[in-house]
Structure 1
Amino acid sequence: MTTNISSLTNNIKIISNNMQNFSSVSLGIWIEVGSRNEIEDEQGISHLLEHMAFKGTKTRSSKQIALEIENVGGDINASTSVERTNYYVRLLENDLEIGVSILSDIIQNSTFDPNELKKEKSVIFQELAATLDSPDDMVFENFQSAAYHDQPIGRSILGNKETLLNIDSTKLVSYLNKFYHADNIIIVATGAVDHEKLHSLCEKYLSNLDRTDSPKTNIASYRPNEIREIRNIEQAHIIYAFEGCSYHDSQLYVSHVFSNILGGGMSSRLFQNIRENLGLAYSIFSFSSSYKDTGVFGIYSATSPDKVNDYSISVAQEIKNSGSSISEEEIQKAKKQIRAGLLISSENPVARMNQVARQMSIYGKLIEMNEILEKIESINKNHINDFIENTFKPEKMTISALGAISKLDEISKIRRLYE
């Protein structure tokens, strides 16, 4: 794979990753804005803006946007996360200009028609309803709001009905102007892409974007907390979590290796003990989630209401015992799984596109795969023991519990299990 990086006259970064023996191109525009950039009365605006970008521009209707892509056999989509928004297309290499033209059009010339805005809010209300009806989604939404209470990073990406109803076309234009500018944009293409052609097309369609400063992002602060929501359902959905690693933490890859060992699959410790040996849950997993300035490490599962405290004890014991009992075989297996996942995903143009964009967003540079693999390979049992000791501190625990949880012990008693 050949990687090229250049900048437009207005400083927009263009990154291409040519992958041999491909006929298609995956092309994306990343804007450095997500839900954590929103002020309180505009919750959900990043996601709403992403939806509205497909609803028509000054020269294309929503149907024309879809037809231009689908007429050449391509597809178009977008996503909003906590820290960034992405618009992307996949099409054949000879149709690259269509992709650049449409993506540049929707981020510069969307009209935000009031009638379309009203309809799209209704669509998002259905998304909100689906999330509210899903306990395994809501327990994570609640967890985020508890661990980052009263902070933008703790709010739902979808927003809420009250704030969404108050967002009009004028507010969308204002928000777009604040964040959708040259200094806040990255262009990435992977697959059958010629860098010079890509750069020329981006200069043609995106050079009019001005350079300006975005509002500063508030620094996130993890704050141990708990949130409990009783619902009349059959199970108790529970997250036990602790402060984890940011993308810049020296223990980032250690957290991934330990997460794989602890709850990364059917052979993991939690799955084998909690499900296979004790029968306390159908599904259980650990997660290590990172942001630019903070992160969390947690365990999620759902269990029967009469087994919630047995479950709590078993999870704590598994974590506490890990430091002394993890074998070299487990460490090597985890490394191999992570290595395989990275290498396999790097051979997928869309996954590679996302990986490149994420690295540029977080680190301002690309990180060679060999460098990542060397860091993972260097991890040993001492690194994992240090991570366990530094992470699983009782006073750093956050609990999110939802459903049939009336029998769940109080947080002080659960925290003592980690002493």
Structure 2
Amino acid sequence: MNEHFVREKRIDITRLGNGLTVATERMPEIATATLGVWVGTGSRNEMVHEHGLSHLIEHMAFKGTTRRTARQIAEDIENVGGDINAATSVEYTSYTARVLGENVDVALDVLGDILIHSAFDAAELAREKGVILQEHAAVEDTPDDLIYDAFMEMAYPGQPIGRPILGTPDTIKAFDEATIRAFLAREYTPGKMVLAAAGDVDHARIVDAAERFFGAMPVAEIREPEPGLYLGGERRLSRKLEQANIVLGLPGLSFKDPGYYATHLFAHILGGGLTSRLWHEVRENRGLAYSIDAFHWPFSDCGLFGIGAGTAGADVAELMEVTLACTRQAAQDISEIEMVRAKAQMKVALLTALESPGGRIERIARQLLSWGRIVPSDEIVQKVDAITADQVREAGHRLLQGAPTLAAIGPIKGLPSLNSIAAGLRG
């Protein structure tokens, strides 16, 4: 029996009998429909021998099913003017399509087909492994990508959440159809899947199609991923490059933690825009870097704060000294004017993401998977507005007590020791 349990403004949500959630938001002013299936599984759900498997499965979804060749998948979508895509992250995998409203059934047919009836043909699998190995090699040749992989691995060493999403050449080469199907049976269970649609959509029509294409999916026990345990550490890769890329990190917070918004605001004030402290001091006053930014990556049970920059080898020591001083100072004297500006920028970013159907379905799917409900924008804005400067300063102070993570690549001989950096964070 299907259960229709939420109606909020223009959003309808229905849960199918097998646990798959269907959510739609009708946007009368839009002639197209954007649809997607979000699975609450990503790279952190992989076992050691499955490292990189989520990403490979995402690629293989477009390589043929029992009904369609890879060419026919593309043709069926593009013949109606649509496009189709997929993405893998640490905690989610998504498959999305955009078509005219009148072609919603076509998009859902294709999405259902690639998710449930993928063939995993041996020749296609071999070819796609080659593509991903090239993708892996491209990262190895791109210092500003490679360094963030190293950063995550040092923050969460030996853990699924810290492993690069692409996998390693050894794990990629070892994957076979049996491994793929075992992972899908375990992780792609309807209880952790959301089908979301926005634009020119009719809820009843989407639910009917979802029942046809996904209603027979078997239910499996939901397996929780290994908890993320921040440890910290360092990786230094001395290479002959024109520029040193450096990422400095500290333990952050889950998006479910009450202190999340204060921590996010601290990161934004420190290095989130052209008026941020790091940008003003490092880029504008001293010319030490083309760009520098601070960020806060929240996950379901942990988080990671960081500062990333690129600079000349001769400026590495000064860049670190200035970065540490700015960070310490921000934890002491963030002003009300900075608070007002950061809150306004955060609200604009939130609301801008909702201006497209794609942004809306991503919000719907992620919130349903994370919270089991739609979190109204007004509720988020109220939480942001309620944060005080004292709370943000305290969030900064708490960050500075954590053990640092350092990842650096390039001409980094002048980079201080990790112990020296840890002492510099605390003043």
Same fold (TM over 0.5): yes
C-alpha contact (below 8 Å) 1:14/1:188 kept by paired residues? yes
Q: Name 1:418's counterpart in structure 2.
A: 425
In structure 2, what is the Cα distance between the partners aligned to 1:280 and 1:65?
49
Q: Name 1:271's counterpart in structure 2.
A: 279
Q: Name 2:331's counterpart in structure 1.
A: 323
**Is 1:396 paired with 2:396?**
no
Q: Could you tell me which of 231, 252, 267 is aligned with 1:259?
A: 267
In structure 1, what is the Cα distance between the partners aligned to 2:222 and 2:14?
22
Q: Name 1:186's counterpart in structure 2.
A: 194
In structure 2, what is the Cα distance between the partners aligned to 1:322 and 1:407?
25
Q: How does 1:320-359 map to 2 (within 5 A)?
A: 320-359=328-367
Query: Which amino acid is 2:409 matched to?
Result: L
Query: Which amino acid is 2:340 matched to?
Result: Q
Deviation at 1:362, TM superposition (A): 1.3
C-alpha contact (below 8 Å) 1:305/1:404 kept by paired residues? yes
In structure 2, what is the Cα distance between the partners aligned to 1:181 and 1:292?
19
**Is 1:176 paired with 2:184?**
yes
Q: Name 2:48's counterpart in structure 1.
A: 40
The CA deviation string for residues 344-365 of structure 1, in whole angstroms up to 9 with x for no partner, is 2112110111111111111121
SS in 2 for 1:15: strand
Please give the TM-score of this superposition, normalised by the length of structure 1: 0.98
Query: Which amino acid is 2:408 matched to?
Result: A
Q: Name 1:406's counterpart in structure 2.
A: 413
SS in 1 for 2:307: strand
Q: Name 2:231's counterpart in structure 1.
A: 223
Deviation at 1:220, TM superposition (A): 0.8
C-alpha contact (below 8 Å) 2:35/2:96 kept by paired residues? yes
Q: Name 2:249's counterpart in structure 1.
A: 241
Q: Could you tell me which of 115, 127, 147 is aligned with 1:139?
A: 147
Q: Name 2:372's counterpart in structure 1.
A: 364
Query: Which amino acid is 1:136 matched to?
Result: D
- Could you list the runs of 5+ residues in structure 1 that have no partner in the other structure? none
Q: Name 1:116's counterpart in structure 2.
A: 124
- Could you list the runs of 5+ residues in structure 2 that have no partner in the other structure? 1-8
In structure 1, what is the Cα distance between the partners aligned to 2:267 and 2:202?
39
Q: Name 1:163's counterpart in structure 2.
A: 171
The CA deviation string for residues 365-384 of structure 1, in whole angstroms up to 9 with x for no partner, is 11011000000111111111
The CA deviation string for residues 313-356 of structure 1, in whole angstroms up to 9 with x for no partner, is 10111111113332211111111111111112112110111111
SS in 1 for 2:425: coil
Query: Which amino acid is 1:412 matched to?
Result: N
Query: C-alpha root-mean-square deviation of aligned residues, in Å?
Result: 1.1
The CA deviation string for residues 228-270 of structure 1, in whole angstroms up to 9 with x for no partner, is 1111112211111100110111111112222221111112111
In structure 2, what is the Cα distance between the partners aligned to 1:64 and 1:38?
30
SS in 2 for 1:396: coil
Q: Which moved more, 1:303-312 or 1:271-280?
A: 303-312
Q: Name 1:154's counterpart in structure 2.
A: 162
In structure 1, what is the Cα distance between the partners aligned to 2:398 and 2:382?
23
In structure 2, what is the Cα distance between the partners aligned to 1:324 and 1:63?
59
In structure 1, what is the Cα distance between the partners aligned to 2:236 and 2:182?
37
In structure 2, what is the Cα distance between the partners aligned to 1:2 and 1:161?
46
The CA deviation string for residues 36-93 of structure 1, in whole angstroms up to 9 with x for no partner, is 0111112111100110010000011111110010011000000011111100100111
Query: Which amino acid is 1:282 matched to?
Result: Y
C-alpha contact (below 8 Å) 2:32/2:200 kept by paired residues? yes
C-alpha contact (below 8 Å) 1:308/1:408 kept by paired residues? yes
In structure 2, what is the Cα distance between the partners aligned to 1:287 and 1:270?
12
C-alpha contact (below 8 Å) 1:247/1:362 kept by paired residues? no
In structure 2, what is the Cα distance between the partners aligned to 1:146 and 1:361?
28
Q: Name 1:69's counterpart in structure 2.
A: 77
Deviation at 1:143, TM superposition (A): 0.4
Deviation at 1:20, TM superposition (A): 2.5
SS in 2 for 1:149: coil
Deviation at 1:181, TM superposition (A): 2.1
Q: How does 1:46-61 map to 2 (within 5 A)?
A: 46-61=54-69
Q: Name 2:4's counterpart in structure 1.
A: none
SS in 1 for 2:308: strand
C-alpha contact (below 8 Å) 1:36/1:217 kept by paired residues? yes
In structure 2, what is the Cα distance between the partners aligned to 1:267 and 1:216?
41
Deviation at 1:216, TM superposition (A): 3.0
C-alpha contact (below 8 Å) 2:194/2:365 kept by paired residues? yes
C-alpha contact (below 8 Å) 2:192/2:369 kept by paired residues? no
The CA deviation string for residues 281-338 of structure 1, in whole angstroms up to 9 with x for no partner, is 1110011101101101110001111221111110111111113332211111111111
Please give the TM-score of this superposition, normalised by the length of structure 2: 0.96
In structure 2, what is the Cα distance between the partners aligned to 1:368 and 1:215?
28
SS in 2 for 1:299: strand
Percent of residue pairs bearing the same amino acid type: 37
Aligned residues: 418
C-alpha contact (below 8 Å) 1:56/1:65 kept by paired residues? yes
Q: Which moved more, 1:141-150 or 1:167-176?
A: 167-176
In structure 2, what is the Cα distance between the partners aligned to 1:117 and 1:100?
24
SS in 2 for 1:261: helix
SS in 2 for 1:218: coil
Q: Which runs of 4+ in 1 moved over 3 A?
A: none
